[in-house]
A and B are shown apart, each in its own frame.
Chain A
Amino acid sequence: MGLQHTPEGRPVALANPTSRPFFDAAREGRLVLQRCPRDGFFFYPRSHCPRCLGTDWSWEAASGRGTVHSFTIDRVGHAPGLGAEVPYAIAIVELEEGPRMTARLVDCDPDSVHVGQEVEARFEPLLDVAVVHFTPRA
């Protein structure tokens, strides 16, 4: 299994050697992304750049800002461990650096979420990793 669960039953990531730097930074409240010198930023963490398959990428700080590319409000709670949070908004966020990332939108009214909304990352350390959320920018 590639998941671990909190005592409350929430599934969270099981970090691996490739993704460990992402989660270590997230635990400290920082969003980091890999950047290929030729093709720019990519997400999720990979051993090879998905455009050129190069391995000379580096980890770089990202702004943590992005916009809502799309979203849904899950009113039944498909995700095990999130039943108590229903209804919750899940968004595909387009990061300022370019890549897309899926995250829950927290600290906001789900019914106020809209495409194009400006959001910023929030980090929730859990076990030895962290879950990245986004929240509307003030």
Chain B
Amino acid sequence: MGRRAAAIAGIAEWKAQRVWDRPMFMLEACAQLAQEALADAAIDKDAVDGLLLPPVWESPMFGPSAAAEYLGLAVNFAEVVDLGGATGAGMVWRAAAAIEVGACETCLVLCPTVPPPPQQGGDPAKMRMPAYLGGDAWGSPQGQFEIPAGMVAATPSFAQVAQRYRAVHGLREETLARIAVHERDNAQTNERAIFRGKPITVEDVLASRRVCDPLKLLEIVMPCFGGAALLVTSAERAAQGPHRPVFVSGFGERLTHKSITYAPDLLDNPIRAAAGRAFGMAGASREAIDLASIYDCYTITVLVTIENAGFCKPGQGQDFVDERDLRRDGDWPLNTHGGQLGAGQPGLAGGLAHVTEAARQLMGRAGEGQLRRCDLAYANGTGGMMAEQVALILEGA
């Protein structure tokens, strides 16, 4: 039996869009997501006493208090979390831990990724990841040794992982393609997915443009806009809500590096420790999970995460994938919302989407994509270059 002190009680999530038609400031998006998550949980705003949010664009300093002021909250726990793609999952365990030790009882977890209104009119911007990802700050090691070498954005770094995998274990491009295809199939029942109505085949993936060898275009997420939020509260309060409470049963976090160059091992990454702690804390076995909600910025991310999270031994991930059907009606459902490969990557909300989908499945609210049975889920977040890693075990009450 894992932890039972805190549970997810409410979900808010916006449809991913390549072009966002209603620009808003981040504080405005936080307010809207908070309103929707509270309504979904049927919890009064005055009950909120905890707040987790990413760095606030309108208040680079004092972000938590800026948000508390804007949303009209009085909170006993507030934190800016900056873990890239693992931010959402990192917020969820922080909320659960704060609730368990009594620091607060009801936490808003907010991940907006929307463009602000243009300052002087003009068309809404397309979502583009900044090439340097903050690595160009004065004194940054990346600015001195990675950016001048062309190691920018994320794709060249994940391609290094894939190429190393090829050298050590051999790489079957059809197997990686199959991950993208099954996830895309899952996206077909997700009304928020950017690629709904656009299924693909293994041949499509293999024929797509080579971007950074060995990664091809259809193995890479599409950056877009969106937003997601969760309401995490005490087990007692969650039990009074309209939905099946989703316990944060176990969690783990691990960081060792920022640049993939300096990762202790390109293939044995920090998710091993994070997942080990999460499964151990939850007292859950790998075989018992009904859903794997695995961070998937690239197909290779899924493959090495399956291995490192302990679902199979190192080097056996491709056999594991080939022997299983990863679709929602298959024997090992993976990313039933389509993952970010199928649903789009709305920044930090794309990371939280792996948690919102797990919560939705455990609550029995996944609609067309609902699993027949879902009582236990593994959700994880990967930030940076296989760097920040957070694993969660979520369990239906």
Chain A residues with Cβ below 8 Å from B213 are 72-73, 75
CB-based contact A78/B137 at 8 Å: no
Give the segment of A32-40, A53-61, A97-105 that binds chain B: A97-105
Q: Are B144 and A15 in contact (CB under 8 A)?
A: yes
Q: Does B136 contact A (CB under 8 A)?
A: yes
Q: Does A82 contact B (CB under 8 A)?
A: yes
Contact of B144 among A19, A75, A116, A133 (CB under 8 A): A19
For window 9-49 of B, CB contacts with A under 8 Å fall at none
Instruction: Compute how far the CA of A2 lies from the CA of B160 in the bound complex, rounded to whole angstroms.
Output: 25
Size of the chain A interface, CB-CB below 8 angstroms: 38
Chain B neighbourhood of A103, CB < 8 A: 149
Does B65 touch A at the CB level, under 8 Å? no
A74/B150 in contact, CB under 8 A: yes
Point out the residue from A13, A73, A82 that lies within 8 Å of B143, measured CB to CB.
A13
Per the 8 Å Cβ criterion, residues 47-89 of B in contact with A are none
Determine the chain B residues whose CB is within 8 A of the CB of A90 once the complex forms.
Answer: 149-151, 156, 160
Instruction: Report yes or no: A69 in contact with B139, Cβ–Cβ below 8 A.
Output: no
A123 at interface (Cβ–Cβ under 8 A)? no
Task: Please choose the segment from B247-255, B259-267, B312-320 that sits at the chain A interface, where 4 or more of its residues have CB less than 8 A away.
Answer: B259-267
Within 8 A of A (CB), among B153-202: 153, 155-156, 159-164, 166-167
Interface size on B, residues (CB 8 A): 41
Judge whether B286 is part of the interface by a CB distance below 8 angstroms.
no
List B contacts of A74 (CB < 8 A): 150, 156, 159, 211-212
B126 at the interface (CB under 8 A from A): no
> Does B148 sit at the interface, judged by CB under 8 A?
yes
A35-74 interface bits toward B, Cβ cutoff 8 Å, 1 = contact, 0 = none = 0000000001000000000000000000000000111111
- Whether A131 pairs with B149 at a CB distance below 8 angstroms is yes
Q: Is the CB of A73 within 8 A of B167?
A: no
B148 and A12 contact, CB distance less than 8 A: yes
A13 / chain B contacts, CB cutoff of 8 Å: 143-145, 148
- Of all chain A residues, the one with the shortest Cβ separation from B146 is A102
A72-B163, A82-B150, A90-B150 given; name 20 further pairs at CB < 8 Å: A1-B136, A10-B148, A19-B144, A70-B163, A70-B164, A70-B266, A74-B211, A74-B212, A75-B211, A75-B212, A76-B212, A78-B150, A78-B156, A79-B150, A80-B152, A100-B262, A102-B261, A104-B150, A131-B148, A131-B149
Q: Which residues of B contact A (CB under 8 A)?
A: 131-132, 136-141, 143-153, 155-156, 159-164, 166-167, 209-215, 259-262, 266
A residues with a Cβ closer than 8 A to B are 1-3, 10-16, 19, 44, 69-76, 78-80, 82, 88, 90, 92, 100-104, 114-116, 131-133
Q: Can you list 22 A-B contacts (CB < 8 A)?
A: A1-B136, A2-B143, A10-B148, A11-B147, A12-B148, A13-B145, A71-B160, A72-B156, A72-B159, A72-B215, A74-B156, A74-B211, A74-B212, A76-B211, A76-B212, A78-B212, A79-B151, A82-B150, A90-B150, A92-B266, A102-B149, A115-B167
